[in-house]
Amino acid sequence: MKLRTALPAVALAVGLTVAGCSSDTPTSSAASSSSSSSAPSAQAGVVFNDADVTFLTDMYPHHAQALEMATMVDGRSTNQAVIDLATQIKGAQQPEMDTMTGLLTSFGKPTPSTDSSMGGMDMSGTSGMSGMMSSDDMTRLSTLSGAAFDKTWLTMMTEHHSGAVDMANVELSDGSNTDAKTLATAIITAQNAEIATMKGLLAQL
């Protein structure tokens, strides 16, 4: 089955000033100046709110787990369609993670943890972290190979992608930063397309 072409990673300029209003009260560089002097400062003119910060901070480890799952395909699957999809996911999500850290830096907010073990943490019940796999899920996946791995991986990644789409939709509804919302739109488009591909692959197994 031919895979859909991945949506090119969205290149976002984190230094852009943002025009427009939001129904939420935005946080600006002026508001950030009230924090301790040791905290990073937001770039002048950058407008954002708590929803933007939550989206970027939570989506980073969410993407990190997807990358961990994609890497697990190596040596465990011989299904070329699954291998190609894993490569596609890695190619799209790492640049998006770089965008997330850049945006958070422009907000004067700390960047998320880059600890790869974050992906194996049991965060499936954590608010805002929809679709995260538990450590038991990840351990079980690591023990599989062949068709059993493919079926489990596709099922888990479909759930994972669906969670990311849910988180991105919340950002579109509640966020105020244009660049963060553009990223959310890109995630929705790309991951919905990949969900359709994965459902098609599952139907063939």
pLDDT at 110: 93
Q: Would the pLDDT of 89 be above 80? A: yes
User: Does a structural domain hold residue 72?
Assistant: yes
Q: Which tens digit of pLDDT belongs to each residue from 100-121? A: 999 999 999 998 875 544 433 4
Tokens, residue 5: 């072409």
Closest CA to 112 of 53, 24, 43: 53
DSSP string, 169-201: HHHHHH---HHHHHHHHHHHHHHHHHHHHHHHH
User: Does a structural domain hold residue 123?
Assistant: no
User: Does a structural domain hold residue 175?
Assistant: yes
Total domains in the fold of the chain: 1
User: Does a structural domain hold residue 27?
Assistant: no
Residue, of 39 and 143, whose pLDDT is higher = 143
User: Could you list the residue range(s) of the whole structural domain that residue 155 is in?
Assistant: 46-111+135-204
Q: How far apart are CA 95 and CA 99, in angstroms?
A: 6
Q: Which tens digit of pLDDT belongs to each residue from 63-88? A: 999 999 999 999 999 999 999 999 99
Q: How confident is the model at residue 19 (pLDDT cuts 50, 70, 90)?
A: very low
Q: How far apart are CA 25 and CA 63, in angstroms?
A: 28
Q: How far apart are CA 101 and CA 153, in angstroms?
A: 27
Q: What is the DSSP letter of 136?
A: H
Q: How far apart are CA 56 and CA 148, in angstroms?
A: 33
User: Does a structural domain hold residue 71?
Assistant: yes
User: Does a structural domain hold residue 67?
Assistant: yes
Question: What percentage of the chain carries pLDDT values higher than 70?
Answer: 73
Tokens, residue 9: 């990673």
pLDDT at 119: 39
User: Does a structural domain hold residue 195?
Assistant: yes
Q: How far apart are CA 64 and CA 200, in angstroms?
A: 25
Tell the burial category of 175 from Cβ atoms under 10 Å away from its Cβ (0-12, 13-18, 19+): buried
Tokens, residue 111: 């960047």
Name every residue whose Cβ is closer than 8 Å to that of residue 73 and which is 6 or more positions away in sequence. Answer: 82, 83, 86, 149, 153
User: Does a structural domain hold residue 75?
Assistant: yes
pLDDT at 42: 83
CATH number of the structural domain spanning residue 197:
1.20.1260.10
pLDDT at 53: 97
Q: How far apart are CA 141 and CA 143, in angstroms?
A: 5
Q: How far apart are CA 68 and CA 191, in angstroms?
A: 16
pLDDT at 40: 66
pLDDT at 55: 97
